[in-house]
Structure 1
Amino acid sequence: MPAFALAHLRTPQLNDDIFEYLEKIQATLDPYEGRFLVHGPKPEVIEGDWPGTVVIIEFPDVERARAWYASPAYQEILPLRLRHIEGSAILVEGVGPDYDAARTAARLRERIPNAG
């Protein structure tokens, strides 16, 4: 199953540390087959509030996503971003190509008595 690293960067700033982080991050992703799907555009907010930007990186699986984040190469450059940008980051497993939300709802209904 694919996995994703998502970052909500609430206070993006550009400075020399951030430029260095950006210049080096791809080399940390390559050994884990990570690739940017979304990198920093201001999102179009259609519900709620979303200050800042978003980053989404895809990996072939959650094991490689975890290994990338914990890797010495990434941990070495991570402080460059953390010192200057407030945000949150998560790793999340994706769904397969045959995923169907209706089937998920049916399984959930079976587990919850009186759900419908």
Structure 2
Amino acid sequence: MPAYVIFIREKTTNIEELNVYASKAPSALQGHLLKPLVMYGMHEVIEGPEIEGAAVLEFPGIEEAKSWYYSPAYQDAVKHRMKGGTYRGIIVEGFAKEGSEI
């Protein structure tokens, strides 16, 4: 089943650290199967507190998502994201088949 990594940026606290993250994060994608679906584009909050943006990455499964997130290359980048803002991040499992009903 596909899995999705979702990052929600609640607040930027240090833009320089986010710039370091942005320079390091792309190299952490190498060797991992993923598809960026959403990358901090225009949004409208319909429930809950306001956010600055969100990103959604699709992976073949939860194990692949965790392998990417906990990889040394991404962990080297993510420390800068954590210093640069307040974020929430989750991994969520998708449906087994495309078009599955809720």
Q: Structures share a fold, TM > 0.5?
A: yes
2:98 is aligned to 97
Q: Secondary structure at the match of 1:32?
A: coil
2:34 is aligned to 34
- Normalized against structure 1, the TM-score is what? 0.76
Query: Deviation string for 1:75-116 (max 9, x for gaps)?
Result: 111111101110110001111214112xxxxxxxxxxxxxxx
1:9 is aligned to 9
Flag structure 2 segments of 5+ consecutive residues without an equivalent: none
Provide the rounded CA distance (Å) in 2 between the counterparts of 1:45 and 1:58.
21
Q: Secondary structure at the match of 1:10?
A: strand
User: What is the Cα deviation at residue 13 of structure 1?
Assistant: 5.4
Provide the rounded CA distance (Å) in 2 between the counterparts of 1:60 and 1:13.
33
Q: Which structure has the highest strand share of the two?
A: 2
Query: Deviation string for 1:40-97 (max 9, x for gaps)?
Result: 1241123343322111111111111000111111111111110111011000111121
Question: What is the aligned length?
Answer: 101
Q: 1:14 to 1:41 in 2, by over 3 A?
A: farther
Provide the rounded CA distance (Å) in 1 between the counterparts of 2:13 and 2:36.
19
1:84 is aligned to 84
Q: Secondary structure at the match of 1:100?
A: coil
Flag structure 1 segments of 5+ consecutive residues without an equivalent: 102-116
1:62 is aligned to 62
Q: Secondary structure at the match of 1:51?
A: coil
Q: Secondary structure at the match of 2:50?
A: coil
Residue identity (%): 30
Provide the rounded CA distance (Å) in 2 between the counterparts of 1:98 and 1:9.
29
- Normalized against structure 2, the TM-score is what? 0.85
